[in-house]
Amino acid sequence: MKDKLLCPSMMCADFSCLEREMLLLEEAGSDMFHIDVMDGRFVPNFGMGLQDIAYLCKYAKIPCDVHLMIEQPIQYVDKFADLGASILYVHPESECHPARTLQKIHDRGIKAGIALNPGTGVESVEPLFNLADYVLVMSVNPGFAGQKYIDFVDEKLEQLLHKQEKYGYEVMLDGACSPERIAALGKKGVKGFVLGTSALFGKGRGYGEIIRELRAL
C-alpha cells in the first residue's frame, strides 16, 4: 500500500476540458479524485454538477470520493452510490442522525467517511468513528478553494492519529495542503491529502512532475 494518498480536488480542474484533465491526472499517478458537492445552504457555495460527477465516476480509472457538503445527505446516498462513488463523506452537523447515514453508506457497499469542519471537536463526534473508514479534517472553512490553512486543526489531527488504532480509520486532510504540510503531516501519519491550488493546480508545471515530487516527500 502507498504511504500516502494524493487526491486531486476536481473542483480546481479546468472544466473546459474535463476529460483531458482526468486523463492527465491519472497518468500523473493520482490515487483518487476528490469531488465536492455543495448545496448553497450547508456551505455558501455550489459545487460540481451531477453530469460532471457522473462522467468522472463512470470513466475514471481510479476511485472517486464524494464530499457531501449538503444538508440531509442521507437523502442522496443512493444517488451517489448509483453514480459509482467509492467513498462518501458526510458532515455530522448536516443532519440529526449521522450514524444512520454512515450505516446506509456501508449498506450500499461503499466506504463511509466523516468530514470535520475546523470548529468541530473530536470528542463531540467520537462515537461515529465506529462507523468511519476515513476521517477527513477540514483545515479551511468548507466551500471555497484557495483559503489560508487554519493552524489550530493541527491539534485535532494529533487527537485523531492517537485514536486511529482504536477505531481503524484513515486520517485525511482537505484544505491548503501545501508541499511543506504534506511532508510534515505525512511523517506523523496522515494518510491522504486533497490537492488543490496550494500544491497542484495552476502551477504552470506538469501534473506528473508535481505528483512525483509530492510522493517523494
143, 149, 144: which is closest to 176 by C-alpha?
Answer: 149
DSSP 25: H
Q: Is 82 a catalytic residue?
A: no
DSSP 61: S
Of the candidates 3, 14, 31, 36, the residue annotated as catalytic is 36
CA distance 83 to 86: 10
Which residue do the cell numbers 504534506 mark? 182
Q: Is 36 a catalytic residue?
A: yes
Cell of 82: 448509483
Which residue do the cell numbers 444517488 mark? 79
Of the candidates 31, 151, 154, 174, the residue annotated as catalytic is 174
Q: What residues are annotated to the active site? A: 36, 174
